[in-house]
Every structure is written in structure tokens, then in C-alpha cells.
Structure 1
Amino acid sequence: MRTTKDRIRHALSFEIIGLLIFAPLASLVFGFKLELMGVIAIAGSIVATVWNYFYNILFDKAMLRLRGSVHKTVALRVGHTVLFEGGLLVLFLPLIAWYLQISLWEAFVMDIAMATFYLVYAFVFNWAYDKVFPIPQHAQGTQ
């Protein structure tokens, strides 16, 4: 399994890179000021960073228990990403509607678009992260 230091590096780099891409893109796509989308993105980033840390620990422990390894196939990476983003979708819907003063339906559409962006981004980022910072062979089956 990954060390605490590695998990923190992973979570912080994921969120910082995601913010730098998402906020300007969302401002253009949704037509809100960059400042508003920046606040949404930062608030979401804070919640997502905390969720990311605990979610990945739980996911890795489940993989070790069920499979004896934390190695992820493409199918497991897709499932990992979908479950993670599904949790965030539920958390962000009321926040977006309240802060942007839009209907729940509009917030839902925006949240789906955000989740779609982060689904693709998370898949690519995590795959690249595992290539750049591989888990040492001796740590793949330990807790």
C-alpha cells in the first residue's frame, strides 16, 4: 500500500492540477464569473481532498482483502473513479445550487458536467500517477 506521505502528495497534486484546469474551463462553459467558479472549485477541492484520502485507503484495504493486491486493472480503475465521483456528486449538488442561486435541476446538470470532467481527469491522473510514482513491489501486499 501507499505511505501517508505518498497519499498526501497524490491528493494535493490531484487537486491543484484539477483546479488549474477546471475553474477557467467551467467559467467559459457555464458562463459564470471566474471568481464564482473558483469558489465552487476550491470548496469542492477541499471536500474532495479529504474524501480522496479516506476513500483511497478504504478502496485499497478492500482490494487487499478481496484480491490480495492493490494492483488495479482498467475495469477496477473505472469502478474506482465512478464510485469516487458518485459520492462527490451527492455532496456538491446542494452547495452548487445554494451558492450560485440556481435551481436544483440546473445544479444537477452542472454537477454532472463537473463529474464528467473529473471522471476523465481522475482516470488519466491516477494512471499517470501510478506510472510516475509506482508502488514498490514489496509494499503491494502489505498494510
Structure 2
Amino acid sequence: MFTFSAPLRRLIYVLAFEAGAIALSTALLTRLGEGPAAESLGVSVLVTVIALIWNLVFNTGFEAAEHRFRLRRTLWLRALHALGFEGGLFLFTVPLYMGFYGVTFTEAVAMEAVLLLCFLIYTFFFTWGFDRLFPRPPLPARG
């Protein structure tokens, strides 16, 4: 196990998570978009940039709430974390798929639903494993 300061831990989390996300989303979008991987790689990188920004914003707020309410990272809290993150990302990506792939809103929602399901599982297991390998720093004592 490795212990880092909260900002460094957050940075390591985001970089590792997004590297895996590019690989996973490129494979999924190549299959869903029925096109060459190179085209889907561009969309994956753009989605990753969006997800990176959302990840920083969402996780900063999530950790602030953990500290404020002195929450323990249970499996249920991690499930809530994954749902919140993916739900927010859904709002950003549907318009992107509509524009890039030229699909209808319904088709873009269906594409995102497949990606959402895969990333919901990925997010849950990645974060659970990350917490085991890199435990969060201890909470400061209240005075």
C-alpha cells in the first residue's frame, strides 16, 4: 500500500483511470460506431478530456463531502460515487455522439447506455482497487 497527500493521490487516480478509459472507450466506440479504430480514438480522447475535467470537479466535491460528513468508503458509498460520476458524464457525451456520429438523440442515448454500463462497472472496480492500493490520507482530528 502507498500513502500520498490528497492532491497527489487525486492526480494519480485521474491519470490511471483515464489511461484505462481511452483504451476501453476506443474499443467500445469502434464496435458501436462500426468504423475504424483511428476515428473512434479521436472521440475517445475528446471524451477523456471531458471526463478528466468532470473527474477533477466531481471527485474534489465528493471528497469534500466525505470529509465534511466524516464518511467511510464502503462499497455502497463507492457505488453511489460511480453512479454520480457516470450520470454527470452522460449529460456531456450524448450531444458529442450526436454530432460526431450523425446519429439521433435516441441512438446517441443507446450508445451512451452501453458505454455507461461498461464504465459503471469499470469505475466501481477501478476505484475499489485504487482505494486498496492507495488508501486515502487519515482525516485530520477535530479540535
Give the TM-score normalised by the residue count of structure 2.
0.88
Ranked by relative contact order (alpha carbons within 8 Å, sequence separation 6 or more), the top structure is 2
Shift in alpha-carbon separation, 1:117–1:47, aligned structure 2, 3 A: same
What is the CA deviation profile of residues 48-85 of structure 1, one whole-angstrom value per residue up to 9, with x for unaligned ones?
1111112111111112222x14x311111111110110
Aligned counterpart, 2:133:
132
Instruction: Establish whether residue 61 from structure 1 lines up as the match of residue 64 from structure 2.
Output: yes
Rounded to whole Å, the distance in 2 between the matches of 1:130 and 1:50 is 21
What is the CA deviation profile of residues 24-61 of structure 1, one whole-angstrom value per residue up to 9, with x for unaligned ones?
23313442221222112111111111111121111111
Instruction: State the aligned residue count.
Output: 138
Shift in alpha-carbon separation, 1:72–1:119, aligned structure 2, 3 A: same
Does structure 2 conserve the Cα–Cα contact (< 8 Å) formed by 1:36 and 1:100? no
Alignment counterpart, residue 54 of structure 2, candidates 41, 51, 56: 51
Rounded to whole Å, the distance in 2 between the matches of 1:49 and 1:102 is 25
**Aligned Cα root-mean-square deviation (Å):** 1.8
Return the letter of the residue paired with 1:5: L
Instruction: Establish whether residue 113 from structure 1 lines up as the match of residue 114 from structure 2.
Output: yes
Give the percent of matched residue pairs that are identical in Structure 1 and Structure 2: 25
Aligned counterpart, 1:86:
87
Does structure 1 conserve the Cα–Cα contact (< 8 Å) formed by 2:33 and 2:101? no
Does structure 1 conserve the Cα–Cα contact (< 8 Å) formed by 2:26 and 2:37? yes
Instruction: Establish whether residue 21 from structure 1 lines up as the match of residue 24 from structure 2.
Output: yes
Unaligned runs of 5+ in 2: none
What is the Cα deviation at residue 99 of structure 1?
A: 0.8
Deviates more, 1:115-124 or 1:1-10: 1-10
Aligned counterpart, 1:96:
97
Shift in alpha-carbon separation, 1:140–1:32, aligned structure 2, 3 A: farther
What is the Cα deviation at residue 11 of structure 1?
A: 0.2
Return the letter of the residue paired with 2:31: L
Aligned counterpart, 2:44:
41
| 3-state SS of paired residue (1:72) | coil
Give the TM-score normalised by the residue count of structure 1.
0.88
- State the 4+ residue runs in structure 1 displaced beyond 4 angstroms: none
Does structure 2 conserve the Cα–Cα contact (< 8 Å) formed by 1:23 and 1:34? yes
What is the Cα deviation at residue 141 of structure 1?
A: 4.2
